[in-house]
Amino acid sequence: MTSIENHPEKNIIRVQIRQNNVLKGMSAASHEELEQHLTVVDCNKGDFLLHQGVHEMEQYFILDGVLKRVVANAQGKEMILRFAAEREMETSYAAWSLKTPTPYSIVSVTKARVVKLPLPEWIAFIDRHPEEKRLFEYCVMNLMSEIMAHTITLHLLDAPGRVHRFLRKHPELFDRIPKKELAAYMNLSAETLSRLKQRGKI
């Protein structure tokens, strides 16, 4: 982990931060204030940024690559709740607000780079910037709504329907996510996904 000021690619990183969907509307002074709290993390595929069941939480802004939010049961069976890529964020804000452990893990699907800060520091920052807090909380609610819609989709749509929905919602991610991960997200086997593609159904 490196501070932005000490990072050899600090100028590129600063541009990427200003392109983030949550942060792009902030003033230059607010960006400078936030930067003092941020560290840069480079992730390899499979690295955990956040483990399920912990109380120490962080706020993440994705600069490059793809992350997944995944929940596992005691037997190790996993369900992928969402994918997130550059210009998006990841958070456990709801768990922090409810004072409960994190209900999911955040894992790197591809090689990735994020900037992060402890969640209490992020909360203190947005409390000083009401407009940023409004936008952030809207994004959190939107993410929760998306996850609920995805869960409903798994019950109501057949296999081709689930794939078509993903292609409609996230066309930019289809070729970036390993097919095994993509199939798991849609509660399909990798073989089923491959068969659908071979038959021209997707």
Here the CATH number for the domain that contains residue 38 is 2.60.120.10
Res 86: pLDDT? 97
Split into its structural domains, the chain has a count of 1
Range of the domain at 28: 2-129
Specify burial of residue 108 (Cβ count, 10 A radius: 0-12, 13-18, 19+): buried
Q: Which two tokens stand for residue 122?
A: 């992020």
Confidence at 198, pLDDT banded by 50, 70, 90: confident
Please report how many Cα atoms fall inside a 13 Å half-sphere around the Cα of residue 157, on the Cβ side: 17
**136 exposure class (CB count in 10 Å sphere: 0-12, 13-18, 19+):** buried
Q: What is the pLDDT of residue 97?
A: 96
Say if 193 falls within a structural domain: no
Given a cut of 80, whether residue 138 has pLDDT beyond it is yes
Residue 180 lies in a domain: no
21 assigned to some structural domain:
yes
Does residue 72 sit within a domain? yes
Is residue 8 domain-resident?
yes
Q: Residue 114 belongs to what H/E stretch?
A: strand 112-118
pTM, two decimal places: 0.95
Residue 100 within any structural domain of the chain? yes
The predicted structure's pLDDT at residue 1: 84
Average pLDDT over residues 174-178: 95
Instruction: Give 26-62 pLDDT, tens digit per residue.
Output: 999 999 999 999 999 999 999 999 999 999 999 999 9
Task: Collapse the DSSP code of 7 into the 3-class scheme (helix H, G, I; strand E, B; otherwise coil) and give the result.
Answer: coil
Q: What is the pLDDT of residues 79-135, one digit of tens each?
A: 999 999 999 999 999 999 999 999 999 999 999 999 999 999 999 999 999 999 999
In a domain, 171, yes or no: no
CA distances from 7 to 30, 37, 94, 196 (A): 20, 14, 31, 45
